[in-house]
Amino acid sequence: MIADLLWLGVALDHVEVTVEAQIDQRAGAPGHDVTLREPHGITYTVHVQGAESDEALCRVHQAVERLCPILNLLRNPQAIRGSFWRPPANVEAFS
C-alpha cells in the first residue's frame, strides 16, 4: 500500500491498518465437520492522518483494492503445494 501512496503522489503523516477475521475454534472437533477451519469474514480498516483530500484517499483505496498482492491472493486463492522432507537417519540436516 505504501508503494501505491508514492505512485499516486499521496503523502500521509500516519497510516495504520487493522485486520479482523472470525475463526471458530471448534473446527475439526467431533461434530463440527462442516465448521470452517480457515479465517473468514475478513475485514480491514485503514486509519490515516494527513492533509490529503478525500478524493486522493479514494484513489489510493481503489489502487490498493486493484493492485495489492496479498489482498488479491485472499480474494482469488491459489493452489499451494507443500512437501514434507525428512533427512536420512545418518545425515545431520539442521546444524
Residues 72, 66: Cα–Cα separation, whole Å: 8
Give the single-character DSSP code of 35.
S
Instruction: Give domain 2-75's CATH number out of 3.40.470.10, 2.40.50.100, 2.50.20.10, 3.30.300.20.
Output: 3.30.300.20
For the chain, counts of helices (H) and of strands (E): 3, 2
Model confidence at 10, pLDDT cuts 50, 70, 90, reads confident
> pLDDT value at position 63?
87
Overall average pLDDT of the 74-94 stretch: 85
- Percent share of the chain, pLDDT over 90: 35
**What's the rounded Cα separation, in Å, for the pair 41 and 79?**
21
* Whole-prediction pTM: 0.67
